[in-house]
Structure 1
Amino acid sequence: MSSDETYEHTSLEAARWLVSLEESPDDQKLKDEFERWLSEDPTHREAWAATSGIYDLMGPLFAKERYSSGTQSCKSGWRHRSVSKRILYGVPIALAAAVANFMLVPDYYYRLTADYSTGKAQQMTVKLADGSEVSLAPKSAIDVVFRREGGREIHLLRGEGFFKVSHNPGRPFRVTAGKISVTDIGTEFDVRVSQKASAVAVRSGEVHVDGDNHLSTDLHSGQRIERRGRGIVSASHEDAENIGAWATSGQLVLEDSSFGDAVTQINPYYNGRIFVANRHLSAGKVTGVYNLSTPESALKAMADTQGAKLYHITPWIIVVSY
């Protein structure tokens, strides 16, 4: 395991301890186990200090009220925090991942297992054996399955890809992403997948989309379809030239997008993590064209439309709040 991987693993452990101690502050057995973990390696104490310290810095930005019902110190410096569940609705778990600057499935996992992958603020264009081309957005990964005779298949494991397909009726080109499958009928198209949704948009030509719950439809230039949790499917139209603009011109084009979704799209281009402090801000609407080569400036421009500000907690964490 490399030093970077060791750091990510130790930070993940520290984040998990943070969540466990927040959820069970009176569990003496848990505290004893935590103390043993701290004493096992100096890097454990360093990771804990960074994780819990940033948690304290970020807390006020996620809530206007925060109170403590006393301080109980242990030799590790962990303090019993009594935080209102109404205020910090589920924030500890998300924050645990944030302060360690990683995701539950780290980038190196995809570097080891995927055929092609990108990390934070990285993009890649792949020329496939059949002449087709795939542009990968940051934090994206694909597996390529090309059979000598028969179909061509791409598995979009995470993130976003823009596909320019060399059409061959005798060898169907198919992209699977989450619970949807996209079959090329001679086209350029964009596919995005996340834990919450899968989306397909066609820049030119035509694709066929299949999915669970009897999803089966053709999409043409300028059409988009998105499948969210519980099988909810929504369809929309947009300017075809804006589809895949992140790959063709380095721009993020938003039209009446929620601020939360806009931040989700720009987050991979920033070499750190961006968080929105409250639900009301996330629900605000954003329209505009933003330069992805300068993600922080783009984020500030988006925040200005909402009357919000950027708070730099560390060089690699930004919180957007009123």
Structure 2
Amino acid sequence: MSSDETYEHTSLEAARWLVSLEESPDDQKLKDEFERWLSEDPTHREAWDSTSGIYDLMGPLFAKKGYSSSTQSCKSGWRHTSVSKRILYGVPIALAAAVASFMLVPDYYYRLTADYSTGKAQQMTVKLADGSEVSLAPKSAINVVFRREGDREIHLLRGEGFFKVSHNPERPFRVTAGKISVTDIGTEFDVRVSQKASAVAVRSGEVHVDGDNHLSTDLHSGQRIERRGRGIVSASHEDAENIGAWATSGQLVLEDSSFGDAVTQINPYYNGRIFVANRHLSVGKVTGVYNLSTPESALKAMADTQGAKLYHITPWIIVVSY
């Protein structure tokens, strides 16, 4: 993980702590866990100071919007601010997190360092020199390393790619994503990487997957494998036609997915930021097929299944809450 990705991950953790502390200001166990997180690494304190600092700077904005507030300090410098209407509870935190994210890890970093990259709500299909194709989801980036007589390598730096490989046994096609490496054996497959996990799913054909902790396995059509932090690996089966559906048909196919994970997947397709204000809402289950060309409508349909609503804070920020 690059230093920028690490800082983004830590900043998002800080924003989540801010949300949690807002939701449960009297939860002493939560406060104790927060203090432990804060003391684990100096970067945690740095990210917390940046995120809470942005929150403080935005205070006058919320006052103008009519939010009533009362301030209460704790030893970490956390301030609990209540708002006048429960449906807007956590909205200032969402805005702070949005601003922090936009300021800390701009998309142009990847435009400068990657061979191919996409930003928010952007997709791209790249035709490689060997005839293979790579479809990039929004907020994705790759580097391409093709040796004239040797291996063909793709480094997925972030996001998701769907690969249609022109098979050549004399020139292996390999994709690296986080802690895993995927070698084509003649196939179409999807690879996704984030700060927390790397995942591979095969639409047709076969791939070989290698990784740390002795991970070495073959995947066939309809099979998926995911490697999470600390080397935890999970395997599953799904309808092969649904794999890479975002690239082949513009659809997001969910089966018993958590609402939080569903929002994470649809967020890059929305030209702004989406935040879930309630922890209980995040763990609700979602199943369905959603049109990614209209991400806001898809988000509303998902929220409806949870009895939740969308609140438009600005033209580019949506908060989902009960």
Moved over 4 A (4+): 1-95
Between the aligned partners of 1:49 and 1:29, the Cα distance in structure 2 is 21
- For 1:244-287, what per-residue CA distance to the aligned partner results, in whole angstroms no more than 9, with x for missing partners? 00000000000111111000000000000001112211111110
Q: Compute the displacement of 1:206 (Å).
A: 0.2
Aligned-pair CA distance for 1:38:
26
**Equivalent residue, structure 2, for 1:73:** 73
CA distance in 2, matches of 1:245, 1:56: 42
> Tell me, what secondary structure is at the counterpart of 2:59?
helix
Describe the superposition over 1:100-126 as per-residue Cα deviations: whole angstroms up to 9, x where unpaired: 551633200000110000000000000
Change (3 A) 1:223 1:313: same
Alignment partners' CA distance in 1, 2:259 and 2:28: 42
Partners of 1:214 and 1:74 in 2: CA distance: 45
Contact kept? 1:63, 1:87, Cα under 8 Å: no
Query: Which deviates more, 83-92 or 99-108?
Result: 83-92
Distance in 2, Cα, partners of 1:285 & 1:34: 27
Conservation of the 8 A alpha-carbon contact between 2:310 and 2:319: yes
Alpha-carbon distance, 1:233 to partner: 0.5
Q: For 2:301 and 2:181, locate their aligned partners in 1 and report how far apart those are by CA, in whole Å.
A: 35
Corresponding residue for 1:279?
Answer: 279
- TM-score normalised by length of structure 1: 0.75
CA deviation map 1:25-82 (0-9, x unaligned): 9999999999999999999999999999995899999999999996699999999969
The alpha-carbon distance between structure 1 residues 210 and 53, as it changes in their structure 2 partners (threshold 3 A), is: closer
- Which segment drifts farther, 71-80 or 297-306? 71-80
Distance 1:143 1:28, change over 3 A: same
Q: Name the CA shift for 1:33/1:166 in 2 (closer, same or farther; >3 Å).
A: closer
Return the alpha-carbon distance in structure 1 between the equivalents of residues 31 and 280 of structure 2: 36
Report if aligned partners of 1:269, 1:295 keep a CA contact under 8 Å in 2. Answer: yes
**TM-score (normalised: structure 2):** 0.75
Distance 1:153 1:140, change over 3 A: same
What is the total number of aligned residue pairs between the two structures?
322
1:99: Cα distance to partner? 2.8
1:196-239 CA deviation, whole Å, 9 max, x = no partner?
Answer: 10000000000000000110000000000000111110000000
C-alpha contact (below 8 Å) 1:19/1:96 kept by paired residues: no
CA contact (8 A) 1:207 1:218 kept: yes
Over 3 Å counting, the alpha-carbon distance change for 1:24 and 1:228 in structure 2 is: closer
Indicate the larger mover: 80-89 or 172-181: 80-89
Contact 1:311 1:321 in 2 (8 A): yes
Query: Where in structure 1 are there 5+ consecutive unaligned residues?
Result: none
Gap runs ≥5 in structure 2: none
Closer, same or farther: CA 309–188 of 1 in aligned 2, 3 Å: same
Deviates more, 1:272-281 or 1:150-159: 272-281
- Aligned partners of 1:24, 1:237: CA distance in 2, in Å? 38
Q: Identify the range of structure 1 (191-200 vs 4-13) with the bigger mean alpha-carbon deviation.
A: 4-13
| 8 A contact 2:276–2:282 mirrored in 1 | yes
The 10-residue stretch of structure 1 (6-15 or 22-31) with the greater mean CA deviation from structure 2: 22-31
When residues 26 and 307 of structure 1 are mapped into structure 2, their CA distance, relative to the original with a 3 A threshold, is closer
* SS of 2:58 mapped into structure 1: helix
Q: Distance in 1 between matches of 2:24 and 2:318?
A: 29
**Where does residue 119 of structure 1 map in the other structure?**
119
Q: Within 5 Å, which residues of 2 pair with 1:175-254?
A: 175-254=175-254
Give the conservation status (yes or no) of the 8 Å contact 2:123–2:135: yes
**More deviation, 274-283/200-209:** 274-283
**1:5 and 1:231 mapped to 2: Cα distance?**
19
SS of residue matched to 1:13: helix
C-alpha change, 1:16 and 1:167, in structure 2 (3 Å) is closer
Query: Structure 1 residues 42, 312: CA separation in 2 closer, same or farther (over 3 Å shift)?
Result: farther
Secondary structure of residue in 2 paired with 1:131: coil
State which drifts further: 61-70 or 281-290.
61-70
**Secondary structure, counterpart of 1:267 in structure 2:** helix
Please name the residue that 1:153 is paired with.
153
Alpha-carbon separation, structure 1, partners of 2:37 and 2:228: 40
Any conservation in 2 of the 1:267–1:274 contact (CA below 8 Å)?
yes
- Per mean C-alpha deviation after superposition, the further-off stretch among 122-131 and 26-35 is 26-35
**Aligned residues with identical type, % of pairs:** 97
User: Following TM superposition, by how much is the alpha carbon of 1:181 offset from its aligned partner in structure 2, in angstroms?
Assistant: 0.4
- Rate the CA distance shift 1:267–1:169 in 2: closer, same or farther, 3 A: same
